[in-house]
Amino acid sequence: MPRTNNPHAPLSILMALAAASLTASLGISIASVLLPTLTGSFGVTVSQSQWVILAYLMAVTVTIVSAGRLGDLFGHRRLMVLGLVVFLGASVLGAVAPTLGLLILARALQGLGASIMIALPMSIARDMVPSGQLGTVMGLLGTTSAAGTALGPSLGGLALAWGDWRMAFWLLAGFATLALALAGMVIRPDSRPPRASFRSLDLPGTFVLIVALTAYSLGTSGGASVVAVSPVVLLATALFAIAIFAAVEARVDMPLVPIAVLMDRMTGARIAMNFLICTVMMATLVVGPFFLTFFLELNAAVVGLVLAVGPVVAACSGVPAGRLTDRYGAQRMMLAGLMQTIVGLLCLAFLPRFFGVGGYIAALIGLTPGFQMFLAANNTAVMSAASKEERGRLSGLLGLSRNLGLMTGASAMSTLFVAVMGTGDAAKAPIADVAHGFTVTFLTAAVLAMIAMWLAIWSNPTRHQTVLEPG
């Protein structure tokens, strides 16, 4: 796909990429509100119905790197269209599924399509959007992702009000149809014919990575509660498989993830920073509700409204963050975003204890734009430096680090909160212990953000060029 000579990104391309990103995000969040209804409709347990969410998340996580690599090998447009077709077909299958097992299969297929829809927009943007507007597009993708996360539960609730849970899948099919039409009309085919062979797929590496990511996903996302294996065994299996994966990748001619890419100072550091910040982001969603409910004593409706502040602010701040990245540079805005994130986390650790819900909302309003600024700048930095042959792969690695960070945050940050609080039942804990656990959790999150800041400074290419210059 040749780069456009137009100094402004075509609106139609932005709409197509945004529609794909929005649809994939809706697929993640829309099902959460359906679980109580599904348990009644199919006569299953809560643990069984949770596979409707787990199947989607795991499918996205284990295939997103392969999706990016396949885009490099066979063409980004071709694979994007295929991903949308798979998502659309899986949505229809979910809407008509007569059993929970078939619905779970449909969700796994949705996740397969969504992995393509998450991995490829950044690489397509790198090809089709002027370099001076790449940050704006990365911000737009962040905005649509946040908007999808925020809108999903609401649309799911409306679907239940209009009909039943099947309506939610028909809505997803409608969004996928629109995204498919836009992608087919405005995304140009790759200028070079694909030159891929069977050996290019690195099937051994792909298989081992899938095993590792599946074990890690089950061990950190709650899947261990519905399989007869402990989280410790699953995580140990994941570590062992990662070691095997590294050995395989070092020996094959065309690796799925070249070790040199991860060992590169700038690329490796930015992927690690993405993981750390996404781990921190998840803490606001998994720990915040306990503090709001048991320390501030808010009812469920008010807790939902307070938590919605984050996604709403994220949706509003993504594009401005991208424009600032285009204007002032990715490295500068990355550091600014990390600094704002650190300050926001420190505010979140203390302000709500003294100023109640107002302090909590104020901290979120300050914290969330920092997240968006970092994500837009970091994604821009990685994709701007990527060669044409590596863009899909790197886009997939960014998506993978994000998903792994979110899963790790959901598990590790909630575990830390419980450990500091001293009990797994926040309802029975003294409110002082709830507050202490909340504060320690977000102070720890601030430390993780500081580590990300150090990585950003350490990996700064300008710094190293300056050091290497003579006298």
**pLDDT tens, 265-317?**
899 999 999 999 999 988 887 788 888 888 888 887 788 788 778 888 888 89
- Provide the pLDDT for residue 466: 40
- Provide the pLDDT for residue 227: 65
- Provide the pLDDT for residue 223: 55
69 contacts 192 by C-beta, under 8 angstroms: no
**pLDDT tens, 335-357?**
999 999 999 999 999 999 999 99
**pLDDT tens, 88-118?**
999 999 999 999 999 999 999 999 999 999 9
Report the Cα–Cα distance between both ends of the chain, in Å, rounded.
43
- Provide the pLDDT for residue 51: 84
- Provide the pLDDT for residue 406: 82
Determine the topology of domain 1-190 in CATH: Growth Hormone; Chain: A; (1.20.1250)
| DSSP code, position 34 | G
- Provide the pLDDT for residue 4: 45
C-alpha span between 366 and 349 (Å, rounded): 13
C-alpha span between 329 and 135 (Å, rounded): 9
Give the mean pLDDT of 224-244.
81
| DSSP code, position 255 | -
In sequence order, which ranges of 227-299 are alpha helices (DSSP H)? 231-251, 259-263, 265-286, 288-294
- Provide the pLDDT for residue 284: 83
Beta-strand runs (E) in 87-227? none
Counting residues of the chain whose pLDDT is more than 70, the rounded percentage is: 91
Could you state, in order of their start, the residue ranges of all structural domains in the chain?
Answer: 1-190, 203-253, 258-461
* Single pTM value for the model: 0.83
For the cut 80, the answer to whether the pLDDT of residue 452 exceeds it is yes
- Provide the pLDDT for residue 5: 46
Query: And the tokens for 459?
Result: 């990996």
The vertex-384 CA angle with 140 and 79, nearest 5°, equals: 70
The CATH code of the domain at 258-461 is: 1.20.1250.20
Q: How many CB atoms lie within 10 A of CB 400?
A: 28
- Provide the pLDDT for residue 465: 47
Domain 1-190 matches domain 258-461 at the CATH topology level: yes
Give the mean pLDDT of 30-51.
81
Selection from 274, 253, 269, 264 nearest residue 202 by Cα: 253
Burial class (CB in 10 A: 0-12, 13-18, 19+), 293: middle
For the cut 60, the answer to whether the pLDDT of residue 2 exceeds it is no
- Supply the Cα-derived Rg of the chain in whole angstroms: 22
